[in-house]
Amino acid sequence: MLPLVAPPVAPRRGLRRSVELFRAFRVEQSDPDLFYRTQAADSLAQVRDHMEPAGRLIIDVGGGAGWFSDTFRRAGATCVLVEPEAGRPVPDGADSHAVAVHPGRLAEGWTVAADGNRMPFPDGVADLTFSSNVLEHVPAPDRFLAEMVRVTRPGGLLYLSFTAWLSPWGGHETSPWHYLGGQRAAERYQRRHGRLPGNLFGESLFPRHVGEVMDLVRSCPDVEVREAGPRYYPGWLAWVARVPGLRELATWNLLVIMRRRPS
């Protein structure tokens, strides 16, 4: 079993990196490829503070078009992308928890059409279970986290990030009008653009809060937190996520990296 890398983490994440990420964020709608590839490269660097991905089995939960999966594969990992509406479905008649997954079965670009709340893998198969900006799109974050823990091997890592609801970008494309209420923001968006937003409040977008998620993580006996803080900020601003009230407004995107406790 490959060892974990002891985490030096935050100090090397400086202001220049944060500026580059913000510039990429500004073109998310017009140039999503640039934005997501920039974000994926940064996520790889964050993972490498804790684990070298080469030779690992990684499950990318809700990874969209596969930017994160592609980046991990280029770094030498075997990566399975889990997406509800894409990829290769579980075979007919198969129990969704009984499909054996191991590196010998996986081909480059292998994807699975599955729900992140019930993934088609046996317990403890992944060295890293990765989820970027999915938690605000699931109605039951406790069930989602429990499933991520289940498929991660003892001693393996979990990478979880989400956009905080009370941050200026919490309403996604309806921001900043989500401060007046998610439903009102969606109705305003429809009047202005003549169509519904891509993320519907109460259906595919839910108000996730930093304190709520940190309490959820701390209450999970199977994991220990190795890193928690604003995902895109310099390392010296990690303290923002520890200040009640301020963290809900200023964190923007919370990153929590956990280790599954050995059995």
Task: Determine, yes or no, domain membership for 159.
Answer: yes
Residue 183, both tokens: 């439903």
87: left (phi over 0), alpha (psi -120 to 50) or beta: left
Task: Determine, yes or no, domain membership for 100.
Answer: no
pLDDT at position 50 is 96
CA 212 to chain centre: 16
Task: Determine, yes or no, domain membership for 5.
Answer: no
Task: Determine, yes or no, domain membership for 2.
Answer: no
Q: Please tell me the pTM assigned to this model.
A: 0.88
Residues 18 and 41 reside in one and the same domain? yes
Phi, psi of 228 (to 5 degrees): -150, 135
Q: What total number of domains does the chain contain?
A: 2
Residues 17 and 63 reside in one and the same domain? yes
pLDDT at position 34 is 87
User: What is the extent of the structural domain holding 73?
Assistant: 10-88+105-164+208-260
Task: Determine, yes or no, domain membership for 21.
Answer: yes
| Mean pLDDT in consecutive groups of 10 residues from the start of the chain, 263 residues | 40 81 86 89 96 96 91 94 66 38 48 88 95 96 97 98 97 96 97 95 97 97 96 94 97 97 88
Residues 186 and 155 reside in one and the same domain? no
Residues 219 and 127 reside in one and the same domain? yes
Residues 17 and 82 reside in one and the same domain? yes
Residues 181 and 235 reside in one and the same domain? no
pLDDT at position 217 is 97
The residue assigned the tokens 């999966």 is 69
Task: Determine, yes or no, domain membership for 23.
Answer: yes
- CATH of residue 148's domain is 3.40.50.150
Residues 215 and 250 reside in one and the same domain? yes
Residues 184 and 115 reside in one and the same domain? no
Task: Determine, yes or no, domain membership for 15.
Answer: yes
Distances (CA, A) of 75 to 40, 61, 105, 179: 11, 18, 19, 40
Residue 119, both tokens: 């993934």
Residues 143 and 118 reside in one and the same domain? yes
